[in-house]
Chain A
Amino acid sequence: MTDTRSLINMSISEAAAALRRGETTSVALTEAILARIKETEPTLQAYATLPLDRALAAAERADRELEAGRDRGPLHGIPIGVKDNCYTKGILTEVGSKALQGFVPDYDATVVRKLYAAGAILIGKTRCHEWSCGGSEPPTRTPWDLERFPGGSSIGSGVALTARSAYGTIGTDTGGSIRIPASINNLVGMKATYGRVSAYGVLPLAWSLDHVGPLTRTVRDNAFMLGAIAGHDPDDANSARVKVPDFTAGIEHGVRDTRIGIDRDYFMYPGVVDSVRAVTEAVIADLARLGADIIEVSLPELALTRETLITIRMVESASYHRHRIREKGHLYSPGTRATLQMGEVVLATQYVAALRARERFRAAMKNLFRREKLDALIAPTIPVPAPLLEDVWQPRDDMANGETPTAGFVHHVYPANLSGQPAISAPGGFTPEGLPVGYQLLGKPFDEATLYRIAYAYEQTSDWRRRQPPQVYE
């Protein structure tokens, strides 16, 4: 049997292989994670709810199934955390909100149902910002630096994973909420194509922008998880009727002749700080060295991404929340309430104009990919490393345009939410101070496999994924 420290540091792929070799059990993996949670949670507070008895019972079942020859695939017996905006039957689901305090759903979100079907062990519900947007700050902290912004809104999904208190997690991404915590916590986060993963049973922020997806420590693990949760769902009207491939099938084929675009005017704008710029240029250079064609491109339509997305988000959020805010407005923090209700004053004609602007943007992005025969666009995931918590909303001197970090996040992550195309964030390196820096790849709709192939090729050139945060738990 392997010791606890080795167990928690395994990737999903390694743990799955060890299970099948009989070197460990799902119960041992689950107990190792529970021990780690006990060690890390007082400091990090990544989890909102920990259904521990259920987790151990599920692990015992998973072991019995494997012993009996029933193998559900790479997630079988693996402890996974799920963001607390996903319905979990019989388990608290509070989405960081006092308005939902004590709420226990009577059914599972489709993503949870699929995880169970794949044999995954639900280890806990990870904390998120209030209603997945949040004008209040959860107590969650990142071990990379307890004083810095840990990412959001899938805040616990990022922190649990980097702290080794889960092997994989589920997040949601309406405006970067998978990719931002992935970048800040040295993780791989995939916002797949809109409709690729069912959002049924996931508390919405904005229906036409919401995406559900996996966070992991390696690219291959992420491909395994997406394979388990993707697929058409008749319960979700926006679910795509598109075949789900084996996302790992061509993952080792390399990047020779792969065409990767970079729009430097937009994605390397003056808001990108030097350390992030250096990391991103190094990733681009390594991909070129591996045989990728790097193409300089320009997409002026990126300029109105923020205005378009925020208008859509505001109106859809207000539509969802307006009755509850009138009944329970006092149970929303003031900042969250303001954010969620402001869309009520946007006229229907203005909302439709924003929807049309989105279609213009999507068409322009599609034309760019066609014209340049692109497989992906590359960019920093976010233009700054994790800012100090008190600086998240403050203008920064080292962002040459004097922006706030939040505005910088929005600038870089919104485009893929608006277009609906897939986007992955993966570890690209570190700042001189030791903070993780992610890069992102934006791809063609339903071509997540190419993003995995590119990210995997780069991952093999570095050991970024093996770097661990400081042990801040004592």
Chain B
Amino acid sequence: MRSTYQPPDSAIYADQLARLAELLRLEISEDDLKALSDQLRMIDALEEAELRDMPPILKMDADWHD
């Protein structure tokens, strides 16, 4: 069954990241947090739409023409 999940707005990601950074006592600039939140949102959107049969394994095989 296809999910109808839509990732939240980028600002919500940025807020989550900022809180995590604070908890971990990491100094991360606002610009960096914004870029990272945009990046993660795009991958989250892809996850539900197109990654259902994709396990997180990198396997190099030599059979691209077989």
**Which has the most chain A C-beta neighbours within 10 Å: B21, B24, B40, B44?**
B40
B5 within 8 A of A: no
A370 touches which of B28, B47, B65 (Cβ 8 Å): B65
A339-355 interface with B by 8 A CB criterion: 341-342, 344-346, 350, 352-355
Nearest CB in chain B: distance from A421 CB, A: 8
Q: What's the A-B contact tally at a CB cutoff of 8 Å?
A: 98
Question: Known contacts being A304-B42, A304-B43, A307-B39, is A352 close to B26, with CB within 8 Å?
Answer: no
Set of chain B residues within 8 Å of A373, measured between Cβ atoms: 65
**Which has the most chain A C-beta neighbours within 10 Å: B20, B27, B62?**
B62
A297-340 to B contact mask, C-beta < 8 Å, 1/0: 00000001011101100100000000000000000000000100
Contact A357 B51 (CB under 8 A): yes
Contact A354 B60 (CB under 8 A): no
Chain A interface (Cβ within 8 Å of chain B)? 193-195, 208, 240, 242, 304, 306-308, 310-311, 314, 338, 341-342, 344-346, 350, 352-360, 362-363, 366, 369-370, 373, 420, 444-447
Contact A195 B17 (CB under 8 A): no
Nearest CB in chain B: distance from A126 CB, A: 27
Docked CA distance A370–B64 (Å): 6
B9 within 8 A of A: no
Docked CA distance A350–B20 (Å): 14
Docked CA distance A310–B36 (Å): 9
Contact B58 A307 (CB under 8 A): no
Nearest CB in chain A: distance from B45 CB, A: 10
Instruction: For chain B, give the interface size range.
Output: 20 to 34
Chain B interface (Cβ within 8 Å of chain A)? 17, 20-21, 24, 26-29, 32, 36, 39-40, 42-44, 46-47, 50-51, 54-58, 60-62, 64-65
- Nearest neighbor of A362 in chain B, beta-carbon distance: B58
Contact B51 A356 (CB under 8 A): yes
**Which has the most chain A C-beta neighbours within 10 Å: B24, B28, B43?**
B43
Nearest CB in chain B: distance from A114 CB, A: 20
Set of chain A residues within 8 Å of B54, measured between Cβ atoms: 356-357, 359-360, 363
Docked CA distance A360–B21 (Å): 30
**Can you show 30 pairs from A to B with CB atoms below 8 A apart?**
A242-B62, A304-B43, A308-B43, A311-B40, A311-B43, A338-B27, A338-B28, A341-B26, A342-B26, A342-B32, A344-B26, A345-B24, A345-B28, A346-B40, A350-B40, A350-B43, A353-B43, A354-B43, A355-B57, A357-B46, A357-B47, A358-B58, A359-B51, A359-B54, A360-B54, A369-B64, A420-B60, A445-B61, A445-B64, A447-B62
Nearest CB in chain B: distance from A367 CB, A: 9
Set of chain A residues within 8 Å of B36, measured between Cβ atoms: 314, 342, 345-346
